[in-house]
A and B are shown apart, each in its own frame.
Chain A
Amino acid sequence: MVDTSRSPTESSGFSRKLAALIIIIYAVVTLIPITWIILTGFKSVTSSITYPPEVFFEPSLEGYVNLFTTRTRQSQEYLEALPPPETWYEELVRSREMVIAGPSKFFGRYANSLIIGFGATFLSVFLGALAAYAFSRFKIPLKDDLMFFILSTRMFPPIAVAVPIFIMYRKIGLGDTHLGMIILYTVVNLSLAVWLLKGFMDEIPREYEEAAMIDGYTRMGAFFKIVLPQATTGIAATAIFCMIFSWNEYAFAVLLTQFNAQTAPPFIPTIIGEGGQDWSAIGAGTTLFLIPVMIFTVVLRKHLLRGITFGAVRK
């Protein structure tokens, strides 16, 4: 029997099921570590270091409380002398024979990550789009060599230039500043942004912006009103890559930031040092750290898909 309900160009039911199975297995394998770290965030400190590890446990917010606070250990007498705790988290901390000494630095580091991550992403995409447009549309002497030169900035690991950058930044006062980190991440991202976006801009027929110029707009106006909206797919893809890099970057952040502009990646491991092996706080910190990139990617993914169907219709 031939199944006439599907077109001969479609794959058969069996191979589709097999493909789905492989994808599910792959997803499970890659998701296990992430799931584990998220679960760890909801364990109590004792539960997080039990051996063998507990798969079923009583959930606790201790990790999150520890993440956002600093605490000091106190004697039983001291704790009993205190007035009763006012909040659930004070109660939780006291049950561990500690009192809250103050907020931790996590919130500030997290905010730094957001400022630097989004700042660098925006700047990379913006400058990248301008450069890509110029490379795509204008006659530029030595265009191919320039494009290669831009790419060549990524031919060594960025950290290879860490020392000169460290010295330079100290000299010009950009060390441990938000602006310094935004500029640095933008520089690293820019070559990728230019190359990716140029590919997308090449795909947009010139007629659109020419029509806009005939309609009375300047080239700049046509670029913002016509070209950019049509490069949405490319911009979304580029922004995701830039965001992931800037958000996760660790080496430069360790080297160049300390107090003022330190981002979350170098901060989270330092939690271990404060008051023992606090894996639940690390789990909590990592979970919170994952959220923005995830939201960012999911939001932009819609644009990615929309952009692709867009081009399929007709140029």
Chain B
Amino acid sequence: MSEIKLENLEKSFDDFVAVEKSDLTIQDNEFFVLLGPSGCGKTTTLRMIAGLELPTSGKILLDNEDVTFLRASQRDIAFVFQLFALYPHMNVKKNLAFPLKMQGFKKSEINKRIEEVSELLRIQHLLNSKVSSLSGGDRQRVALGRAIVRRPKAFLMDEPLGTLDAEFRELMCLELRKLHNDIKATTVYVTHDQLEAMSMGDRIAVMNKGKIIQFGTPKDIYLKPKTKFVGSFIGSPAMNFIPIHHPVEKNQNKIVINGENYDIPQSFGGTNSPTNYLGIRPEKMFLTDKKGIPGIVFGSEYLGARKILTIKSEFGNFKVRVSNQVNARIGSNVKINFEPKSAIVFDGTTDKAIESRYIKLN
């Protein structure tokens, strides 16, 4: 029922531009993730959508209605804060009732809604507890509950799992996703954790330094990063980069590393930069006896059926994901090669990916 549209949205604090001209459409019922490193402007963007911060320029449309300068209280949007911001002087039940009281619901209706929500989130037993006595996970649930009781047009969540420990975070990820599947409300979820983003988002927007660099499905973003930054930010371990010391021309399908030719997908664009980078995902690299970049096995991380090797080469450390069968003792000399189809050339000056047969950017 609700679509959020950002048009040319920009926010500066004095001289500092926190969010640069951003365009974004968040579709109805979508679980949309804003992903980016610390300080990139995620919270600022979210706060503008909520009405807690006014944009310097640009527009915010909610269901095609211009809400750019509407008060937060009039937007009918819920916000889950990073530290939850549960009202400490009220118990759980009063926290849940607080938004409903303002809307003038009858007592019976308020109680009914609280009951529904607490059942959904399994917090019935906490209703009379003090907020300060709750564990992190319970606070999280109550904060979600306070957002849900109102049945708002959209949910905004600012790193709501940031303070939970890793194990519990995983569980809450699943619960949140399930909750979204149940109530199907448009959600904008902010995180700096790419794993969280990849596992939860229907679509992801990657931000850096105030700019939205790319948005798309997790698969798109993983396989077709638009810039070197996205490639290195998404994926764990991150993408490997090999410097290429020559320009890349249009329709080129070979590059030179260490004086040897390697195949790449035929490029549709080109660059004159003297140094460019070839990006390859760890699982698309392999050890070989034939042609390859020489290196020394530096570390080995056991992950059940697979393992991740850290290989030191003259181009820096590479992370290579290989089967557990592969024999590579630490300290041994190896050569590494890559699958040509998955290689992406990034312009060394602009950081942008160069389109090729396999990497078509939207």
B50 and A211 form a contact (CB under 8 A): no
A213 and B132 form a contact (CB under 8 A): no
Whole-angstrom distance between the alpha carbons of A103 and B295 in the complex? Answer: 105
Closest to B89 in A: A229
Given A215-B150, A310-B88: A210 touches B52 (CB 8 Å cut-off):
yes
A216 within 8 A of B: yes
Closest to B90 in A: A229
Distance of B70 from chain A, by nearest CB (Å)? 12
B99 within 8 A of A: yes
B102 within 8 A of A: yes
Closest to B98 in A: A215
B132 and A214 form a contact (CB under 8 A): no
Whole-angstrom distance between the alpha carbons of A208 and B90 in the complex? Answer: 12
What number of A-B contacts does a CB cutoff of 8 Å give? 61
B222 within 8 A of A: no
Distance of A138 from chain B, by nearest CB (Å)? 13
B85 and A211 form a contact (CB under 8 A): yes
- Name the residue in A205, A232, A314 with the highest tally of chain B Cβ atoms < 10 Å from its Cβ: A314
- Name the residue in B50, B52, B72, B98 with the highest tally of chain A Cβ atoms < 10 Å from its Cβ: B72
Q: Name A211's contact: one of B51, B77, B79 (CB within 8 Å).
A: B79
B262 to chain A: which residues have CB within 8 Å?
none
Closest to B77 in A: A214
B103 within 8 A of A: yes
B64 to chain A: which residues have CB within 8 Å?
none
Whole-angstrom distance between the alpha carbons of A211 and B99 in the complex? Answer: 9
Whole-angstrom distance between the alpha carbons of A221 and B79 in the complex? Answer: 18
Q: A residues 183-238 with Cβ under 8 Å of B? A: 205, 207-208, 210-218, 221, 225-226, 229-230, 232
A215 to chain B: which residues have CB within 8 Å?
73, 98-99, 102, 146, 150
A6 within 8 A of B: no
A216 to chain B: which residues have CB within 8 Å?
73, 99, 102-103, 150
B85 and A205 form a contact (CB under 8 A): yes
Given A205-B83, A211-B87: A217 touches B132 (CB 8 Å cut-off):
no
B78 within 8 A of A: yes
Distance of A26 from chain B, by nearest CB (Å)? 35
B81 within 8 A of A: yes
Whole-angstrom distance between the alpha carbons of A205 and B87 in the complex? Answer: 11
B50 to chain A: which residues have CB within 8 Å?
214
A315 and B83 form a contact (CB under 8 A): yes
Whole-angstrom distance between the alpha carbons of A226 and B102 in the complex? Answer: 13
Q: B residues 121-154 with Cβ under 8 Å of A? A: 132, 146, 150
Query: What are the interface flags for B261-273 relative to A under an 8 Å C-beta threshold, 1 for contact and 0 otherwise?
Result: 0000000000000
B71 within 8 A of A: yes
A213 and B89 form a contact (CB under 8 A): no
Q: B residues 45-88 with Cβ under 8 Å of A? A: 50-52, 71-73, 77-79, 81, 83, 85, 87-88
A-B contacts besides A215-B98, A216-B99, A310-B88, 4 pairs, CB < 8 Å: A207-B85, A210-B72, A221-B102, A314-B132
A-B residue pairs in contact (CB < 8 Å), sample of 8: A211-B79, A212-B87, A213-B71, A214-B79, A216-B103, A217-B102, A218-B73, A313-B88
Which B residues have a C-beta under 8 Å from some C-beta of A? 50-52, 71-73, 77-79, 81, 83, 85, 87-89, 98-99, 102-103, 132, 146, 150
Nearest 9 pairs of A and B residues by beta carbon: A215-B99, A207-B85, A216-B102, A211-B85, A313-B132, A229-B89, A213-B72, A214-B79, A207-B81
